[in-house]
Amino acid sequence: MKISPYQPDQSGMAYSVGTTLDRFINLKQNDFPFASGELSQLLRDIALAAKIVNRETNRAGLANIGGAFGQTNVQGEEQQKLDVIANIRFMRALSKGGEVCAIVSEEEDAVIDLQNNSGKYVVAIDPLDGSSNIDVNISIGTIFSIYRRKTPLGQPIQSEDIMQPGKDQVAAGYVLYGSSTMLVYTTGFGVNGFTYENSLGEFFLSHPNIQAPKKGGIYSINEGLQNEWEQSVKNYVDHCKDQRYAARYIGSLVADFHRNLLKGGIYIYPATTKNPSGKLRLLYEANALAFIAEQAGAVATNGQKSILDLSPNILHQRTPLIIGSERMVEDYLKITKQEEPSY
């Protein structure tokens, strides 16, 4: 039986694998009868910046833009040259695109007010996550969340427009600069993945309607920090070893998350003695991946609550992150006895 190249999505809309991102965005915009096209344009703006960062990343070793920038960011982390370049590229694309009023970036101490009081959207972004891997040619990524501003047009208000819980995201995604470059995103109607064709400068639909396996055999955690974990986390990792799960930890969140999303697995960055609130940031790392995870049938928690239900109190707030296949997160919660799973 000939297998149709057409894959019906959750809205029943049939589209072919190989559809360009631009055409897909237009098709999906039709799912929103009153859509003004502004979110569509914002997604295109992000894709444009991703293409540019992809080019910069691919030529880093040749263009002397690898290595350290010589400054530290608000996190106290040493900025790589590409961190700064990626931040500039996304800021510029979002500013010129005209749909955004404010940006929260891992690379910026404070909220960037774009002085665009007609912009309806707020973007929280980690322009280049895992950048310490750049110089050794290991996959890195961009992570982004999109919110509608809560206050009427005018200067955005941090407490209202910026500090929103993850459940209020209107879209979220990541770009994985790996053996191929992919953009994976959701607008709340499923998760779709697009692969970049360098020779054409286009993203093409390659992974329609991504569904995370309910079970998996991969666990991702930095076992070098074992002595900094609570005993309950050690108990879960021992469980993974008893189950003979594969240990896979790239040190690049987007790469670990993407593999676990497609193959089934769990990524854990728990509280440690050095980072008692966890290392990963709620606004521009955990929330976006949690939205994608839940849209793909997976789960994301801080050990006590769903990530998407956490209300941010500070801009660069950190959180423990346990994210991946539903049954594996369920086992984690049972074994660490931190929360009765409601899945």
Question: Rounded to an integer, what distance in angstroms lies between the CA atom of residue 129 and that of residue 141?
Answer: 5
Nearer to ligand P6P, 121 or 267 (CB): 267
Taking the complex as a whole, the smallest distance from the CB of residue 146 to ligand P6P amounts, in Å, to 20
245, amino acid identity: Y
Question: Rounded to an integer, what distance in angstroms lies between the CA atom of residue 40 and that of residue 69?
Answer: 34
Nearer to ligand P6P, 28 or 279 (CB): 279
Provide the sign of the torsion angle of the four alpha carbons 267, 271, 275, 281, taken in this order: positive
130 belongs to an annotated ligand binding site: yes
Taking the complex as a whole, the smallest distance from the CB of residue 323 to ligand P6P amounts, in Å, to 11
Q: Is 129 in the site for ligand P6P (CB under 6 A)?
A: yes
Q: Per CB under 6 A, which of residues 262..281 are in contact with ligand P6P?
A: 279-280
Q: Is 178 in the site for ligand P6P (CB under 6 A)?
A: no
Taking the complex as a whole, the smallest distance from the CB of residue 252 to ligand P6P amounts, in Å, to 5
343 belongs to an annotated ligand binding site: no
Q: Is 105 in the site for ligand P6P (CB under 6 A)?
A: no
Q: Per CB under 6 A, which of residues 210..249 are in contact with ligand P6P?
A: 222
Count other C-beta atoms under 10 Å from residue 267's C-beta. Answer: 27
Q: Is 107 in the site for ligand P6P (CB under 6 A)?
A: no
Taking the complex as a whole, the smallest distance from the CB of residue 238 to ligand P6P amounts, in Å, to 19
Q: DSSP E strands: which ranges in 262-341? A: 266-269, 280-281, 299-301, 318-319, 321-324
Helix 253-263 and helix 287-295, axial crossing angle in degrees, nearest 10: 10
Which two tokens mark 242?
Answer: 């008893």
Question: Which residue in the set 253, 261, 282, 290 belongs to the binding site for ligand P6P (CB under 6 A)?
Answer: 253
Contact present, 15 and 205 (Cβ < 8 Å)? yes
Question: Rounded to an integer, what distance in angstroms lies between the CA atom of residue 283 and that of residue 319?
Answer: 10
66 belongs to an annotated ligand binding site: no
* Annotated binding residues for Mg(2+): 106, 126, 128-129, 285
Binding site residues, ligand P6P, CB under 6 A: 129-130, 222, 251-253, 256, 279-280
Annotated binding site: 106, 126, 128-132, 222, 249, 279, 285
